[in-house]
């Protein structure tokens, strides 16, 4: 059986990254996976060589308009679209199509949280695409609809769920994530210009205003009956790719540093895309760029009795496109790691 794949939003950063990974997928090279329609809006009619010249095998492919008619007939459809656009397209596609939404439309289970943070109608929720979260891999193996997580929640959730699940902390959590500019997408924007970002750091959507905050709370709330409180501060850095996250929370009474490390080592012992670094080594974004890896470090500040977890991911790979392909592999019964690099690009 040959699996045909379409990518909506193919000219954007996330869509192009999905295509980069698919072009390295063993099923693509064996002919068992074909890349079908490539769609977008503003760049419709252009050749891929004009918008993504690094994707040489697709250079002469023509970008089509994003419509359900164009996307219909494929076995897998990736929706790499701005929030509010996926639900309408998805509703017009057949039930047996694997739809993998890289936008926010189906991530939140709480309609009130959606209405508080987003400006479109609530569309419902789909199985959530962090396979490393207990129970989620099993859901993803049996679904035809996947909500790919946000990039910030990916780094934060992988950093924190083992601690919450094992009751190592009081879930009053402070998270700071430093991100590269590609997280804002490819659309023209003055704040994202090189002259505005080079040599500068800037916090934004602070004090609970960032849309990924309720997603973090939702993810961590799965592992405790106690209310989860998250204070999240994103910081824009002059990087093309990468997210470095630091997460802190009060340590529960009697929890030791050895217990913390043992908990994380056990949680991720069999996870191919999460690497717990040896004690004393710190995650760096440069070590995960181009890979589907998350590098983690766990520490206990004995002076303040607080847990500190640091994670590093590539926001476009593990934070978006890599997660999408990982979920596709699971939904189609392919090896979960197929087409997904474990090794970053250095220097």
pTM of this structure? 0.94
**29, 163, 295, 312, 317 from 277: Cα distances, Å:** 33, 16, 7, 11, 20
Domains belonging to the chain, first-starting first, are 3-148+320-332 (3.40.50.720), 152-313 (3.30.360.10)
The Cα–Cα gap between 212 and 228 comes to: 14
Instruction: Report the DSSP pairing between strands 202-203 and 229-236.
Output: antiparallel
Residues designated catalytic: 151
What does the pLDDT profile of the chain (347 residues) look like in tens digits?
799 999 999 999 999 999 999 999 999 999 999 999 999 988 898 999 999 999 999 999 999 999 999 999 999 999 999 888 899 999 999 999 999 999 999 999 999 999 999 888 899 999 999 999 999 999 999 999 999 999 999 999 999 999 999 999 998 999 999 998 877 666 666 776 777 777 889 898 889 889 899 999 999 999 999 999 999 999 999 888 999 999 999 999 999 999 999 999 999 999 999 999 999 999 999 999 999 999 999 999 999 999 999 999 999 999 999 999 999 999 999 999 999 999 999 88
Distance CA 252, CA 168 (A): 5
Please give the biggest Cα pair distance in the chain.
63
């Amino acid at each position: 059986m040959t699996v045909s794949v379409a990518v909506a939003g193919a000219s954007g950063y996330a869509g192009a990254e999905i295509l980069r990974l698919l072009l390295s997928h063993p099923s693509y090279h064996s002919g068992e996976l074909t890349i079908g329609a490539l769609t977008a809006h503003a760049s419709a009619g252009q050749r891929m060589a004009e918008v993504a010249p690094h994707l040489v095998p697709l250079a002469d492919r023509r970008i089509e308009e994003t419509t359900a008619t164009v996307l219909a007939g494929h076995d897998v459809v990736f929706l790499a679209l701005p929030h509010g656009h996926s639900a309408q397209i998805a509703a017009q596609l057949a039930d047996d199509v694997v739809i993998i939404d890289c936008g926010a439309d189906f991530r939140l289970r709480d309609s009130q949280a959606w209405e508080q943070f987003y400006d479109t109608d609530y569309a419902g929720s789909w199985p959530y695409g962090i396979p490393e979260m207990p129970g989620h891999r099993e859901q993803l193996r049996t679904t035809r609809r996947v909500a790919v997580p946000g990039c910030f929640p990916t780094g934060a959730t992988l950093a924190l769920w083992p601690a919450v699940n094992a009751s190592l902390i009081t879930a009053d959590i402070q998270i700071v994530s430093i991100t590269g500019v590609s997280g804002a997408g490819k659309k023209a924007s003055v704040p994202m210009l090189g002259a505005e970002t080079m040599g500068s750091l800037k916090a934004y959507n602070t004090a609970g205003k960032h849309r990924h905050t309720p997603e973090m709370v939702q993810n961590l709330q799965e592992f405790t009956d106690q209310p989860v409180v998250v204070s999240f501060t994103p910081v824009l850095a002059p990087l093309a790719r990468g997210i470095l996250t630091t997460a802190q929370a009060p340590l529960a009474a009697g929890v030791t540093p050895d217990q913390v490390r043992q908990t994380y080592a056990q949680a991720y012992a069999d996870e191919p895309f999460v690497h717990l670094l040896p004690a004393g080594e710190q995650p760096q974004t440069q070590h995960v760029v181009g890979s589907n890896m998350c590098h983690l470090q766990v520490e206990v500040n004995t002076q303040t009795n607080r847990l500190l977890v640091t994670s590093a991911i590539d926001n476009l790979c593990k934070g978006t496109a890599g997660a999408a392909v990982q979920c596709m592999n699971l939904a189609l019964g392919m090896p979960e790691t197929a087409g997904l690099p474990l090794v970053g690009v250095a220097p």
